[in-house]
Structure 1
Amino acid sequence: MGWNNENILEILKNDIEFFPVICTVGKYKIFLYTIGYSLNKGWMYAGSGYEASIIHVFDKKQGILVSKIENKDCIVEIYQDSQLKKRVIGASPDDVWRKTGLIQNYNGTQLFGLDNSIIQQLIKKHRVPTCKLQDWQDQSIMQILFDYHLKRRTLANINWHQFFISWAESNVTIIDLKSNLKPLYPHNYKFDEREFRVWKAMLHASGCTNITPWTHDESEVNLCRVFRISI
Structure 2
Amino acid sequence: MFSKKQAIQLLATGNLVPTLHYGIYAINWWMFIDRKMPNEKKQMCIPLRLNMRVQLELNKTKFIVRIVSAEDNMKPGYVCESDVAAKIYLSASEAVNKTYNNLFNNKTRYSGPSVLGFDNENITKELLSDVLFCPFKITVDKLSILIINLGNSNGDMSGYQSSFIYKYQDKQSLFIQKVERKYCYIEVFQNKEKVAYYHDASPTDVWKKTGILKNYNGSILFGIEHPVTINVLKNYVESPICSVNEWGDIEVMSQAFEKHLKRKISVVGLNWHKFFIEWKEQESNIIELMLHLKPLYPLDHEFTDRELRAWRKMMKNVGCTNITPYKKQELKVIFFELNEFIFTEKI
TM-score of the aligned structures, taking structure 1 as reference length: 0.56
Larger Rg: 2
Letter in 2 for 1:15: D
Distance in 2 separating the partners of 1:102 and 1:50: 22
Distance in 1 separating the partners of 2:188 and 2:273: 41
Instruction: Check conservation: 1:31, 1:54, Cα contact below 8 A.
Output: yes
Match status 1:52 vs 2:182: no
Instruction: Check conservation: 2:153, 2:236, Cα contact below 8 A.
Output: no
- Higher helix fraction: Structure 1 or Structure 2? 1
Q: Which has the higher contact order (CA 8 A, sep 6+)?
A: 1
Instruction: Check conservation: 1:23, 1:31, Cα contact below 8 A.
Output: yes
Match status 1:26 vs 2:141: yes
| 1:154-178 per-position Cα deviation (integer Å, ceiling 9, x unaligned) | 8xxxxxxxxxxxxxxxxxxxxxxxx
Q: CA deviation at 1:124?
A: 4.1
Q: CA deviation at 1:117?
A: 2.8
Match status 1:67 vs 2:146: no
| 1:106-159 per-position Cα deviation (integer Å, ceiling 9, x unaligned) | 11110001122332344345433xxxxxxxxxxxxxxxxxxx6599528xxxxx
Q: Select which of 269, 273, 276 maps to 1:215.
A: 269
Distance in 2 separating the partners of 1:218 and 1:7: 37
Distance in 1 separating the partners of 2:140 and 2:234: 21
Q: Select which of 221, 241, 244 maps to 1:153.
A: 244
Q: CA deviation at 1:70?
A: 1.7
Unaligned stretches of 5+ residues in structure 1 = 129-147, 155-190
Q: Where does 1:143-182 land on structure 2 (aligned, <5 Å)? A: 153=244
Distance in 1 separating the partners of 2:169 and 2:224: 26
Q: CA deviation at 1:37?
A: 2.8
Match status 1:4 vs 2:100: no
| 1:43-79 per-position Cα deviation (integer Å, ceiling 9, x unaligned) | xx6x222111122221222211111112221011111
Instruction: Check conservation: 2:188, 2:196, Cα contact below 8 A.
Output: yes
TM-score of the aligned structures, taking structure 2 as reference length: 0.39
Q: Where does 1:177-188 land on structure 2 (aligned, <5 Å)? A: none
Q: Select which of 218, 239, 242 maps to 1:108.
A: 218
Distance in 2 separating the partners of 1:212 and 1:82: 39
Distance in 1 separating the partners of 2:174 and 2:273: 43
Instruction: Check conservation: 2:132, 2:241, Cα contact below 8 A.
Output: no
Q: Partner of 1:164 in structure 2?
A: none
Unaligned stretches of 5+ residues in structure 2 = 1-53, 55-116, 275-295, 309-347
Shift in CA distance, 55/84, structure 1 to aligned 2, threshold 3 Å: same
RMSD of aligned C-alpha atoms?
A: 3.8
Q: CA deviation at 1:213?
A: 1.7
Q: Select which of 188, 197, 219 maps to 1:87.
A: 197
How many residues matched? 162
For residue 206 of structure 2, give the secondary structure of its aligned residue in structure 1: helix
Q: Partner of 1:77 in structure 2?
A: 187
- Higher strand fraction: Structure 1 or Structure 2? 2
What fraction of aligned residue pairs are identical, expressed as a percent?
Answer: 29
